[in-house]
Amino acid sequence: MMEILTDIGNRIVNGGFKVHLLVYVISAALGIIIIRLVFYKLLKIVARKTNIAYSLLQQTFRGIPTLLGILIALYAVMEILTIPPRGLLFLQRLFHSLVILSVTLLVAHLASGYLKQKFGKTSGAFASTSILATTIDLAVYTIGILFLLESFGVAISPLITALGVGGLAVALALQDTLANLFSGINILVAKQIKIGDFVKLSTGEAGHIVDMSWRNTTIKTPTENMVVIPNQKFASSTIINYAQPFAECSISIPIGVSYESDLDYVEKVTVAVAKEILQETAGGVNSFAPVVRYSSFGESSIDFNVILRVKTVTDQYLIRHEFIKRLHARYRQEKIIIPYPTRTINLEQVTPLDEVSLKSVSNQGAAIVSKP
């Protein structure tokens, strides 16, 4: 058995180019499969030990096991097989290029993963922060390409000078684009708004921020529509962020009852219904004590507001819906009247003296009209 393996090894080592190429392809394929299996097992262990999601780790290290397998196979080929000097020099340059490419991809992916972890939400799926990810990727890839060119003996100093002059010209030509770019970066770095927050602009647009690219911010409205806003306009707008400093918020529901109602009893019944809704309906904060506050004497009712607490601003619609239905049924059961809008008109009876005065005025007017 050992003799057979030794014979196969000698044939591989002393074989021609086709044999070497076949061995390299098989070795690289097996190495990539084994490394991927081991690598992703390690990622699952890291995900369990930390608060980092496994999906985010997969995105961060995508492509790295494959490059690592190719590098190991290429290094093994250079060390084991007998290769002519010219071919060996080519493989060495290829190896160095792949090392630079692997490091560049790893740094870019780590930076993107960090930004998604820092600026994105941690509720299962990580939101996109393409503006920062694209900027970081562009910078890292540019540096990687410069190192790659330098490894091939290309002078990069003139290239850097040309890029500086060209960058100045591009900056002058793309002032609005750069303004949007830096406005978006400033918004995210300031940490006042995060991807996934529910916001409302002074111009009326409201929804969840789903992405902030290098040019615009995308908002998903409650009606599942997308609103695209340039970053510069978004940064200069007055914005209400319903997710900061925390997602919970209070809502006020106006109600009116008849003037004949027992207000203490109305308050007791209303608070009881509100507690039931908060405890039984998804989105309600069951630890919150509902509040009833009478506000004014209306034209046909005594008006008050019911204060409830919801987990997010979008939960208020279901809470309002269920509360109004159940409160209406409970008011009917308790004989509490929600009055229709009414207005009382008092008509005064005209006295005989007033009738004579009105007739006199009417006759005088007729005489004036008939006068030639």
For residue range 81-115, what is the model confidence (pLDDT) as tens digits?
A: 667 777 777 777 878 888 888 888 777 777 766 66
For residue 277, CA distances in Å to 255, 303, 328 come to 16, 21, 13
- How confident is the model over 176-214, as pLDDT tens digits? 777 777 787 777 777 788 888 888 888 888 888 888 877
Domains of the chain, each with CATH number or no CATH? 12-173 (no CATH), 196-241 (2.30.30.60), 249-333 (3.30.70.100)
- How confident is the model over 220-277, as pLDDT tens digits? 988 888 889 888 888 888 888 888 888 888 999 999 999 999 999 999 999 999 999 9
> Contact 308/324 with Cβ under 8 angstroms?
no
Residues 132-155 have a mean pLDDT of: 73
Q: Residues with Cβ < 8 Å from 83, sequence gap 6 or more?
A: 20, 77, 91
Question: Angle 64-80/17-49 helices, nearest 10 degrees?
Answer: 140
Is 0.75 topped by the overall pTM? no
The continuous run of DSSP H or E covering 251 comes out as strand 249-257
Kindly report whether the peptide bond that precedes residue 245 is cis, defined as omega within 30 degrees of 0.
yes
63: left (phi over 0), alpha (psi -120 to 50) or beta: left
